[in-house]
Structure 1
């Protein structure tokens, strides 16, 4: 299959006047519940390690500490209130309500916490224009208690933190490889603070913006897009040994369906009249589809979409071999 580099990419860059903002857009649209920081602080219990009754770092502490660090590192800017999404509610009751029918429980007799929590916060004054879209500098994190062994003694706890951008057109997150720390393991809030500060300090914003801007210079024809989608579907069922020889893909089959649907119908990132689509638009189709991912793997899939798109850009630019593009 012939690889094509677009010489008319400006035709697929969205002019700001033509942007259609999506109503009620969320950074994640899986089965989640929007909550406030005050709710996490005042209405949720804190899980413990059962063998020694040592407390975990709570969702509230994680979100608040991250916000404080961001404000300290960007003192000249305001930081938005965290947009917090939770899932997998764990319900309980106080001892005096043991044996009481659930329908008769009073509010003060109920306890709850959320197994999974994700949040983002913007620095709305730090806005960049990439390919006709306004992107706001955004920081966020994930905590998933299902990735901890709460039936043991206290051990290092896992957190994920990112810094990147949010596309203001569609609330899609744009996270680069060096903007995500997905294996943070800490024993204390102080160690967590150090890990967050390290990530924010090493993030190369200009490189990230440059890579995203470059995406608009390369495109697929309709036949190339169809070939690529076919290869994505094949990848899902390949032998693990064969998969290891290809660029790794984490998007699932239903999300591929969403990409194809939005290739035709997305108000901002659909294909052109001749069926061609540049890599910036394709990237946003991937990040839009990724919103259906659960909290505990959403950020990793977002980074995978970024890496995959850049892998395609590299192959288009250099006419190099790529399993997803060649027969």
Structure 2
């Protein structure tokens, strides 16, 4: 599992433009959402080193960084609001669930007036805080289906990683990722495919985010996507085949670059593969559970569950890669694509 890293910075004047009033009493404690208070309906959609935060806490307890020329970045909360607005317009009449927000890589800084103070002289009101990385999602309660015996909802969300921005330079296009896809209720696993992801979206303003979200929603076909994923439940994987797949995934990571290029791209790391292997034995929803075989649907869920242990900025791509891998394995087992994914079956 990747470890938590907290950074402490003393920013330039331009990097600490403030939005709202920081309440120092809640700087350290309020960002963690109480499990009891939140009364979660399902597990988190991403784990790793993330913690929960509310939209109100983002707006009141966190500053909004700016570029070196004092122009504000697009705040995390503005990003969330634009996606929510686009969804409410495109899916008018539908009922939405609560927006779940996960953050990581806390950045501690100081107000410009406290730059010359020694650390032991700092008062709570001298300190600032924001989160470098943020992921959020919300599901559409009224777009609900059953897929391979599991309840799934259409889910929308996005990812923002400020580590991809050069905050010391002049304002430049900012980078975001938006997604739409089905999520399994029992485990909150996302099942993302390439048609449900924007990739890295570069924008100069939040209006561009709104427009890009509408375009993504228009081009995504929920029912076609559902049929593709549901079909995975019809192809079985024996224990011997699963072991072969896991062994090849490990071997893949140490192949010469030239040979690796000839195979389908796999970006899952050792920790992801280890987690999927463990899940094969003890996952209560998609593991063996006394069976002799699992399905390609189960394989996808084990890999997607493992991808939830990734850093926020790598999560969406790994989730999509896990879904694509399960679809590719199914094609190889059916004899439809033995040249590519067939290698993973030995």
TM above 0.5, yes or no, is yes
Matches within 5 A, 1:155-166: 155-166=172-183
* Residue 49 (1) aligns with residue 81 (2): no
SS in 1 for 2:179: strand
Secondary structure of the structure 2 residue equivalent to 1:53: coil
Q: RCO (CA 8 Å, sep 6+): is it higher in 1 or 2?
A: 1
Mapped contact 2:42–2:185 kept (Cα < 8 A): no
Whole-angstrom distance in 1 between the partners of 2:275 and 2:92 = 40
Q: Is the 8 A contact 1:25 1:171 kept in 2?
A: yes
Deviation at 1:319, TM superposition (A): 5.3
Distance 1:24 1:320, change over 3 A: closer
- The TM-score normalised by the length of structure 1 is 0.89
TM-score between both structures, scaled by the size of structure 2: 0.84
Superposed, 1:4-15 pairs within 5 Å as none
Q: CA deviation at 1:106?
A: 3.6
Q: 1:86 to 1:326 in 2, by over 3 A?
A: closer
Structure 2 residue corresponding to 1:216, chosen from 228, 233, 239: 233
**Gaps in structure 1 of 5+ consecutive residues:** 1-21
Q: Which residue of 2 aligns with 1:286?
A: 303
Query: How many Å separate the matches in 2 of 1:203 and 1:30?
Result: 28
Query: Which of 231-240 and 92-101 deviates more?
Result: 92-101
CA distance in 2, matches of 1:256, 1:185: 31
Given that residues 84 and 118 in structure 1 are in contact (C-alpha distance below 8 angstroms), is that contact kept between their aligned partners in structure 2? yes
**Segment drifting more, 317-326 vs 182-191:** 317-326
Of 304, 307, 324, the match for 2:343 = 324
SS in 2 for 1:190: helix
- Deviation at 1:62? 0.2
Structure 2, unmatched stretches of 5+, are: 1-39
Q: Give RMSD over aligned pairs.
A: 1.7
Matching residue of 2:200: 183
- Correspondence 1:78-117 to 2 at 5 A: 78-100=95-117, 102=119, 105-117=122-134
**Cα distance in 1 for residues equivalent to 2:146 and 2:281:** 25
Q: Deviations over 1:48-72 (max 9, x none)?
A: 121x222111111001111111112
Give the Å deviation of 1:149. Answer: 1.6
CA contact (8 A) 2:248 2:345 kept: no
Residues matched between the structures, number: 305
The partner residue of 1:301 within 318, 324, 331 is 318
